[in-house]
Structure 1
Amino acid sequence: MSRAGNGRRVCALGVAGVLAGTVLTGCGEDGDTGGDGARGTSSAGGATQEQGTQAVRSAYDRTAEEDTAKVKLRVRTSAQGASESADGQGVVDLDDGDSVMTLTVRGQRIEQRVIDQVLYQKMPKGQAPDGKPWIKIDLGKVARKQGAGDNSMSDPARSAAYAKAITDKDVTKKGTATIGGVRTTHYRVSVDVAELPDGETLRKQVGPALPMDVWLDDEGRMRRQQLDMTLKTPTSAERSAADASSAPQRVTVRTVMDFTGFGTAMEADEPPAGQVTDMTGKALEQGKGQS
């Protein structure tokens, strides 16, 4: 497979991984576009900080209560000095993580569905294997094989538990911003990876802490979430000599998700079995020994 093809797939799978969990944990800053420049201050004292913690904790539940939402996202994946970008939009089920999306990667459109933790992608013409238009990858099986237990990073119910596990010292109010015409409050959160399900495994992959930026509307719902993850690959000593020369030391993924259109109707149907090639085995093979 060409390097470009690999990059395109990494980008697309990055989108799928995010949507399988809907609201996850991450880090980074994308700027408060349209914000009023207000900043959180320490003079507000412990009471204000506690209010911020409660707002972030409850945001997951309040957002999920809307059942579905339109999602617009931007993903940038970088490794070995090269990068790939993908944009997507569609509708996601905020309860179970199912989604229907259209992605644009390198100017090419990819239709994507995530159903019961299984990713389906309709590849551009001429790129699908075996002459079938769709591929599928069992995300849950891949996550378990890579040591992520029962795919906790892709479980929206557990992602809510992550937020509830934070303490007052982990939340900082950064100010306000206008997201899609809606006034929001921006919070930065730091989550201790060791306290997460499969924390020891995740710690090896992403480090000891996961900073997370969220923007909440006046009803306490998530309007934007940004993730900036650096995934560590094994050291050269842990790889075969053949792999060591080509495998990147780390992969960075920046993902920005905007949520609008709460309650939008969504139907996610599996493609006809005869039009699908199962690529789970290939994904497991490519991911062997990597984060």
Structure 2
Amino acid sequence: MGRAGRSSRVGALGVAGILAGTVLVGCGDGGSGDAAAGSSAKPGAGAREEGTRAVRSAYDRTAEEDTARVKLRVRTSAEGTSQTADGQGAIDLADGDSVMSLTVQGQRIEQRVVDQVLYQKLPEGRAPGGKPWIRIDLGEVAKQQGAGDGSMSDPAQSAAYAKAISDEDVTEKGTATVGGVRTIRYRVSLDVSELPNGDTLRQQVGPTLPMDVWLDDEGRMRRQQVEMTLKGTASPRQSSGTASSAPQQVTVRTVMEFTGFGTRVEADAPPAGQVTDMTGELLEQGERGQGRS
């Protein structure tokens, strides 16, 4: 694959997180038990400014490595139940293409992302249409969600994401060893209104988005954890107006770890004859959900 400019790489790095948080069926455990406890004293202004600069530049520094191995855990919780998806593979940080193996509820799923299209090979007997692979156009899904055309890979989105971080939003939480590498952990609270399409996003996740990042001595991201509580919509039977009829909320926690920078990534779309396109069905489900009262 040809190398894109730095801004494109930053956009692709953002894609990795978005995919983990909104496409996978499941969600990630915190996985931060190895983090050392941070000091209880409030850091000074200089320390906060240094932390803010480090977090803002982390996307650039990581994406400059071009490719990486990625490991993730995504955990989704709703109505007292939870589901976990674990995955590992490799990602091209220039364009977001990736190859990954997922395990969801004990079943293995092969996943590829090629040119902003998601392909998943489901367990035998689970795929629709008698074909082994399903296809979802992530760009079309992003449009329906109000993210705009192609915004999942728009470099401006990730740039604005970093710029939305102020000195008050970043707190150093101590050190941790991630994948055998010493890192510094930062807690970040993003003001959702400052992000692109912030009004739409605010309706879905609330005013702030909590995030933790673990950066190595070169300022590269080694781990990222994002937790979102998505506001649900009431089902048709939930119409009494009582507390029990409150719309369902879904909490998604995604943990991603990056290692093996510079690893080779080969992501190819499966043969067309083996693929069932599920984009339309997914969009219809989303429209029905948005239409509920």
The TM-score range, normalised by the shorter chain, is: 0.7 to 0.9
* Cα deviation code 1:198-250 (max 9, x no counterpart): 0000000000111110000000000000111111123x3xx6x3687999621
1:143 is displaced (CA, Å) by: 1.6
TM-score w.r.t. the length of structure 1 is: 0.84
SS of the aligned residue for 2:44 comes to: helix
- Is the contact between residue 36 and residue 177 of structure 1 (CA under 8 Å) also seen in structure 2? yes
In the alignment, what sits opposite 2:232?
233
Residue type matched to 1:284 in 2? L
For 1:145 and 1:154, how far apart are their aligned partners in 2? 15
Q: Deviations over 1:91-114 (max 9, x none)?
A: 011222211000001111100001
**Alignment correspondent of 1:208:** 207
Decide whether the 8 Å contact of 1:132 with 1:275 is kept in 2.
Answer: yes
Conserved in 1, the CA contact under 8 Å of 2:97 and 2:267? yes
Partner amino acid, structure 2, of 1:200: D
Number of residue pairs matched by the alignment: 268
Calculate the TM-score normalised by the size of structure 2.
0.83
RMSD: 2.7
Letter in 1 for 2:91: V
List aligned pairs for 1:1-12, cutoff 5 A.
none
Q: 1:21 aligns with which of 15, 21, 25?
A: 15
Q: Which runs of 5+ in 2 are unaligned?
A: 1-11, 22-27
Q: Deviations over 1:245-279 (max 9, x none)?
A: 99962111111111100110001101100100000
Number of the residue aligned with 1:30: 30
1:97–1:156 contact (8 Å) kept in structure 2:
no
Q: What is the identity, as a one-letter code, of the residue corresponding to 1:99?
A: S
Residue 146 of structure 1 deviates from its aligned partner by: 2.4
- After TM superposition, list the pairs within 5 Å mapping 1:157-236 onto structure 2: 158-234=157-233, 236=234
| One-letter amino acid of the structure 2 residue matched with residue 258 of structure 1 | E
Partner of 1:101: 100
Task: Measure how far apart 1:159 and its partner are.
Answer: 2.1
Aligned counterparts of 1:268 and 1:170: Cα–Cα separation in 2: 37
Q: Does the 8 A contact of 2:90 with 2:99 survive in 1? A: yes
Query: Match of 1:251?
Result: 250
Note the residue ranges of structure 1 that are not aligned, 5 or more in a row: 1-17
Q: Which residue of 1 aligns with 2:278?
A: 279
Whole-angstrom CA distance in 2 between matches of 1:151 and 1:172: 32
Identity over aligned pairs, percent: 70
Q: Tell me by how many angstroms 1:129 deviates.
A: 1.1
Q: Relative to structure 1, is the Cα distance of residues 250 and 37 closer, same or farther in structure 2, using a 3 angstrom cutoff?
A: closer
> Counterparts of 2:189 and 2:269 in 1: how far apart (Å)?
37
